[in-house]
Chains A and B, each alone.
Chain A
Amino acid sequence: MTLIKEIDYGTPIRLNEQTVTLTIDGESVTVPAGTSVMAAAMHMGTKIPKLCATDSLEPFGSCRMCLVEIEGRRGTPASCTTPAENGMVVHTQSDKLHRLRKGVMELYISDHPLDCLTCAANGDCELQDTAGQVGLRDVRYGYDGDNHVKPSSDRYLPKDESNPYFTYDPSKCIVCNRCVRACEETQGTFALTIEGRGFDSRVAAGPTNFMQSECVSCGACVQACPTATLQEKTVHEFGQPDHSAVTTCAYCGVGCAFKAEMQGDRVIRMVPYKGGKANEGHSCVKGRFAYGYATHKDRITKPMIREKITDPWREVSWEEAINHAASEFKRIQAKYGRDSVGGITSSRCTNEEAYLVQKLVRAAFGNNNVDTCARVCHSPTGYGLMSTLGTSAGTQDFKSVEESDVILVIGANPTDGHPVFGSRMKKRLREGARLIVADPRKIDLVKSPHIKADYHLPLKPGSNVAFINAFAHVIVTEGLIAEDYVRERCDLAEFESWARFIAEERNSPEAAQAITGVDPQAIREAARLYATGGKAAIYYGLGVTEHSQGSTMVMGMANIAMATGNIGMVGAGVNPLRGQNNVQGSCDMGSFPHELPGYRHVSDDATRESFEAIWGAKLDSAPGLRITNMLDEAVGGTFKGMYIQGEDIAQSDPDTHHVTSGLKAMECIVIQDIFLNETAKYAHVFLPGASFLEKDGTFTNAERRISRVRKVMAPLGGYGDWEGTILLARALGYEMNYSHPSEIMDEIARLTPSFTGVSYQKLEELGSIQWPCNEKAPLGTPMMHVDRFVRGKGRFMITEYVPTDERTTGKFPLILTTGRILSQYNVGAQTRRTENSRWHEEDVLEIHPFDAEMRGIVDGDLVALESRSGDIALKAKVTERMQPGIVYTTFHHAKTGANVITTDFSDWATNCPEYKVTAVQVRRTNRPSDWQAKFFEEDFSLTRIAEAAE
């Protein structure tokens, strides 16, 4: 294996049907119109020397290394800023060009340290390469002139090591501006600039250092930097990697492709892979830098068992642990019935692993009691889009946003939650696309550098459906329906009954104002913009789904998209921003209690029989228990055992009291995970899991894109997660025979119509595949519902607004809504074990100044947050990002216990918890809550590991 290095064409790839043909150094080359001479040369394998050009950024023309001679034109133009034209004759080498390049390089080196041999970029430095390429031999200016290099110089600036992951060394900077341009064009944060002019010029992150600036640590600048000026600290410490493998990030649903660059089995750094279609060479702070959790000292590497949860854990062999777990499950099933045990698949483990867990539950346990965390985030997406369109996944790929004219963001905060996609969206917005943001908070997208939402509609939590109905009301009553589209593609009768419903006065923006709190004029204008502004796309997140009417809202959004003809073409669509790296995959793999892989109901005899044939076991035809049901029945005494892979329901699920009561009531909980998490406090068997670096497999992102996860180190616990499941199944009496995850995927392909064309071989060839991939679409399906909806005719569903039962009262007058931030990921199990905690050491309660003042709260005070479910204490942050009446917190730290507060209300169709609406009161306090006190006590008592004998 060698180090993978993508070709750098110097300037961005231009797509154009028109081509131009030119001659470079006597050879003819044909490229799309708009391609630069530099990129055209690279296409034919000629690398014109360059320093300020890189193909992820627009050409800049500052280094003056890439000069060429063009017949018929005066002078020596820069090949990066010169578009190739038909009939052009270019020479990339001549005596003059040689003199010029050497002379420019001589100037560069006259102000650069000469410590190549001990420099962190030794072996990976474009300045070094280019100096070699042009044949520089001496610097006639000497080294005693003005410089940024010597500490004795007035201009010398010391290294900035404030960011935990990379250093900035101004003495090595060649002012190519690639970092500044990457922060502008790729990331869109605009945190960097050049300070001073002329010779003074140096890169600056504002007037402070990197850590205190607006930098979000995405690493784009480090990647773009051709020298060691911006360099990963790991490379400083360990040196250059020697081999790499392309894998997929294990954090969010964007699913960025990375090159894991290694020395032996040590990861030196994760570098975004330019060939990754989801991220196109970009990353965020988590995937790029926060992979250290995989080798954190908290990693459990030996199986452990215990009898009572108050006992300390005992390290044992895999054999003993597996046998104990299996015998317990058998005992429980014998005593309490076949349906008294169940499992939870992981949305963070691979497709193959999720498939095996649900196969174990169905074939080895013999019931359908299997569920996944998608229950608590996007299950309404599944229900809502399946009902209206016929498929439960997003309609487009990420690239589609590049052609959107109007973008409607509802209940999502992409710059925090899906940062790499957020950057792609912002790029399109900077080009002039219009933006509507529907969110109770003033998220970054509302106003940030070069981004301003045309409309910010700050609707109150719980009022989503009233809002979308008001939106639709405008479209229907003002004659903005795409009539031809609806007539051709949708069920007309249902459309008409929906239109009559929506047109009723009670669904008007004016009538809705009392519920939503949004100015009706703004809703009218925004709706007109969505309906008439061109290709309009909806991007939504958990602010839509985690409500008692989550499914209804999804249907409401599908309704307006169909009504305006905005499904089935690039630039439009209904796009759920899936959260987990493989939540889409785990749903696809049949993790729901009522569905077999491929979203087919368990009661469907034909489907079930096809599985029975391959699996060699009789399968239950009745839907099984959802997670909430499992916990209810545990408390009720009839559900006693669980096999949980890669999930932490004690931290992530709502109404923590209810969850822990249920867990405590069970007799055998088997956790397969990489760390001792909150749920493990109540477990009896712990099987060490494997991180994404330790196994082969596939993840499926929010675009339905299946990508490879590649093993670069041996599993620390001895087995990959899929191997652990096989061992458990075998001990339960059910044989699973796979020698490699590719064989699992082959079985999936045989049994699932939308996956029949998927195989590891094809993934090698294509890089990634968006399902459906079968005979009808052998290369995958970027966009769905192109000519017709998957279910045939699109179906308009009536979306009556039903207020949630969660009401504010005198006792609980505020509404709490929850969410995420950039640096921490969900329950924080991974990110809290990295330097990312420097950005977010604790969860805080964001509260509007008005509400704070009424309660005598100032920024930084400890406050008690109380609901009818429970109370917690945390620090307050007074900010105008919130509106009066609404407070917000995150759930990244277990000790906060944010879910102690959330209720047991959930979506009527899917039981997706209503995390986003909880009636609360906030008051100053001077001590942690009772729950937190108990938490700290249990954090010790339920997690002790006995000293291993010997």
Chain B
Amino acid sequence: MSITVYVPQDAVALGLGANRVARAIFAGAERRGLDVRIVRTGTRGLLWLEPMVEVATSEGRIAYGPVTPGDVEGLLDAGFVEGGAHALRLGKPEEIPFLAKQHRLTFHRCGVVDPVSVEDYRAHGGYRGLEAALTCEAEGIVAQVRDSGLRGRGGAGFPAGIKWNTVMLAKSDQKYVVCNADEGDSGTFADRIMMEGDPFNLIEGMTIAAVATGATRGYIYCRSEYPQSFKTLRDAIANGVKAGVLGDNILGSGKNFHLEVRLGAGAYICGEETSLLESLEGKRGIVRAKPPIPALKGFLGKPTLVNNVMTFTAVPYIMEHGAKAYAEYGMGRSLGTLPIQLAGNIKHGGLIEYAFGITIRQVIDEFGGGTASGRPVRAVQVGGPLGAYFPDELLDTPLDYEAMAANKGLVGHGGIVVFDDTVDMARQARFAFEFCATESCGKCTPCRIGATRGVETMDKVISGIRPEANLKLVEDLCEIMTDGSLCAMGGLTPMPVMSAITNFPEDFRRAGDLPVAAE
């Protein structure tokens, strides 16, 4: 009787030795004469338990983790292939509290299915959304997306329905759907987990978008730092074409959608939609001025729908279960679920898909289990390197677009990075400028020159060279960059800087005023 063992091949798991674990299981099973079939999956997102190995038993899947290659012999001896007891036994993964408390509307198949198998995807409920969409008119699909309250999950939070509507109404001989898979924010990995764990969810979402907007070609722009995602997507797309869910006449509908995955080349700025389009066209990835908006003049000058991975992957659920079902989750004008990525100095980091409205403190305490170091949390940065640093007083802010903005923060792509009390916030402010200087496309002056001057001025503050005057200069510079920059990278770099200065003022005055001669 064949036993199925699931070993993740997500990048985190690979980094922690999952391939060697798989080989050890295979070899060990063979030696014991066990008929074991290994399926490589994505990750369930409980990253501190990776590599998390699961085995299919009569009572369902049983998980073990974190498994190192050295643990394999012991596990085999303990009969893990039948769900036997072992120190690493976690029980049913869906009963692990970290996972059980989540609202996995989008991520429920990650770590469960064989990512590149169309059959496995359909067996787990996949393509019901597309089938529903193919029975609607384009306007009907767009109405559902609009009524669901789905907002762009890349960070801008722009209502997806409005963007889809604009592209749908645009008149052109050719339209495109482009997925922004450049996930460049430090501390984020939701897109990667999805692309490596359940790529057909993204493919299905993009296909629905193509049907709704009238696009016949699509591109996934995947950052070059995600080679596993690139490979997984490519293999999934190839299988999709063979199965008739991509290419000409998808699912016999008479509609065409040709999808390709393209690689970036190491530029954070290409996560900005117009730079992304420039890069996709084979040009230098610099930001375009708007108007015109990409929805009207995008890829090769044609109407183009650009959305984040998470935005597209929410759509199959919406089409299958209806806009109202999705809108039942969340609060205020932030409806549906947010894929929160918890990282940094945290005990239990990973992917937490939860309805909007949960507070930052709840995420850190109830899911994260506090810092990894055990020391108190001092600062939390939400929304990536351009997000604000919140002190303890602000940790009760709910994860909601408007509530975060009201406290001068942002939700962004949903990344949360935790810092304990050893963090030097002046260095973090300097890092914000340094990151901008490294990644700046160089087109607009506030960012091209301002970021570099910001680093230099922060250095002066940190060394105690006329700190008050230079802090004032930093604040003036922040105004220039916020109001003057061409895109959100220069425009939001001041957010972490000013939040650090405002919320942690003591870190900026440690050196004291040095005598003039020291300059």
Contact = CB atoms under 8 A, between A and B. Distances in A.
Given A64-B446, A81-B290, A100 B484 contact: yes
Interface stretch (A197-205, A474-482, A535-543, A773-781): A197-205
A99 interface: yes
Contacts of A60: 289, 443
A184 to B, nearest CB: 11
A61 B443 CA distance: 9
Among B290, B450, B457, residue most surrounded by chain A Cβ atoms (within 10 Å):
B450
Contacts of A104: 445-446, 480, 484
A816 to B, nearest CB: 40
Interface in B69-88: none
Interface residues of B, number: 37
B186 interface: no
Contacts of B441: 197-198
Among A145, A146, A199, residue most surrounded by chain B Cβ atoms (within 10 Å):
A199
Interface string B276-290: 000000001110011
A241 interface: no
Contacts of B486: 61-62, 64, 78
A67 interface: yes
Interface string A137-153: 00011000110000000
Contacts of A134: none
Given A140-B473, A194-B284, A198-B440, A107 B479 contact: no
Contact of A107 (B438, B440, B449): B449
A81 B290 CA distance: 7
Contacts of B267: 197
A107 B476 CA distance: 12
Contacts of A196: 442
A110 B453 contact: yes
B252 interface: no
Contacts of B515: none
Among A78, A96, A111, A141, residue most surrounded by chain B Cβ atoms (within 10 Å):
A141
Interface string A57-79: 00111111001000000011010
Contact of A146 (B291, B450, B456, B480): B456
A194 B442 contact: yes
A83 interface: yes
Contacts of B439: 198
Interface in A86-102: 96, 99-100
Contacts, number: 109
Contacts of A199: 437, 440, 442, 448-449, 451-452
A706 to B, nearest CB: 39
A111 B450 CA distance: 11
A76 B486 CA distance: 11
B444 A110 contact: no
Contact of A193 (B284, B446, B476, B484): B284
A175 B448 contact: yes
A76 B484 contact: yes
A193 B457 CA distance: 31
A100 B490 CA distance: 14
Given A81-B289, A193-B284, A199-B452, A177 B480 contact: no
A871 B241 CA distance: 66
Contacts of A100: 479-480, 483-484
Given A61-B289, A146-B452, A198-B437, A107 B442 contact: no
Given A64-B444, A83-B291, A108 B449 contact: yes
Among B286, B290, B444, B479, residue most surrounded by chain A Cβ atoms (within 10 Å):
B444
A145 B284 contact: no
B112 interface: no
B449 A78 contact: no
Contacts of B445: 62-64, 104, 107-108, 174-175
A99 B479 CA distance: 9
B364 interface: no
B308 interface: no
Interface string A166-186: 000000001101000000000
A197 B279 CA distance: 13
B477 interface: yes
A885 interface: no
Given A67-B483, A141-B457, A193-B284, A177 B443 contact: yes
B41 interface: no
B444 A61 contact: yes
The secondary structure that dominates the A interface is: loop
A78 B437 CA distance: 22
Contacts of B443: 60, 62, 175, 177
Among B284, B439, B440, B484, residue most surrounded by chain A Cβ atoms (within 10 Å):
B484
Contact of A111 (B290, B442, B446, B449): B449
A366 interface: no
Interface string A198-219: 1111000000000000000000
Interface string B463-504: 000000100010011011001111000000000000000000
Nearest to B442: A201
Contacts of B479: 99-100, 103
Contacts of B440: 197-199
Interface string A35-76: 000000000000000000000000111111001000000011
Given A111-B449, A141-B457, A197-B267, A62 B284 contact: no
Given A62-B443, A78-B289, A200-B442, A107 B483 contact: no
A60 B486 CA distance: 10
Interface in B282-317: 284-286, 289-291
Nearest to A96: B483
A96 to B, nearest CB: 7
A59 B292 CA distance: 11
Contact of B451 (A64, A81, A174, A198): A198
A51 to B, nearest CB: 8
Contacts of B437: 198-199
A108 B447 CA distance: 11
A59 B453 CA distance: 27
A194 B479 CA distance: 27
B275 to A, nearest CB: 10
Nearest to A432: B301
Nearest to A142: B456
Interface in A507-531: none
A561 to B, nearest CB: 29
A386 to B, nearest CB: 43
Nearest to A199: B452
A81 B284 CA distance: 20
Contacts of B469: 140
A175 B452 CA distance: 15
B484 A64 contact: yes
A107 B480 CA distance: 10
Nearest to B482: A75
Given A104-B480, A107-B480, A62 B444 contact: yes
Among A62, A67, A108, A146, residue most surrounded by chain B Cβ atoms (within 10 Å):
A62
Interface of A: 59-64, 67, 75-76, 78, 81-83, 96, 99-100, 103-104, 107-108, 110-111, 140-141, 145-146, 174-175, 177, 193-194, 196-201
Q: Top 4 closest A-B pairs, CB basis?
A: A61-B289, A198-B440, A201-B442, A103-B480
Given A140-B473, A175-B443, 17 more contacts: A60-B289, A62-B443, A63-B444, A67-B484, A76-B484, A81-B289, A100-B483, A104-B445, A107-B453, A145-B456, A174-B445, A177-B443, A194-B286, A198-B437, A198-B439, A199-B440, A201-B448
29 contacts: A60-B289, A60-B443, A64-B445, A64-B446, A75-B483, A76-B484, A78-B486, A81-B290, A82-B291, A99-B476, A103-B477, A103-B480, A103-B484, A104-B445, A104-B446, A104-B484, A107-B449, A107-B480, A110-B453, A111-B449, A141-B453, A141-B456, A145-B453, A194-B284, A196-B442, A198-B437, A198-B440, A198-B441, A201-B448
Interface of B: 267, 269, 284-286, 289-291, 437-453, 456-457, 469, 473, 476-477, 479-480, 483-486
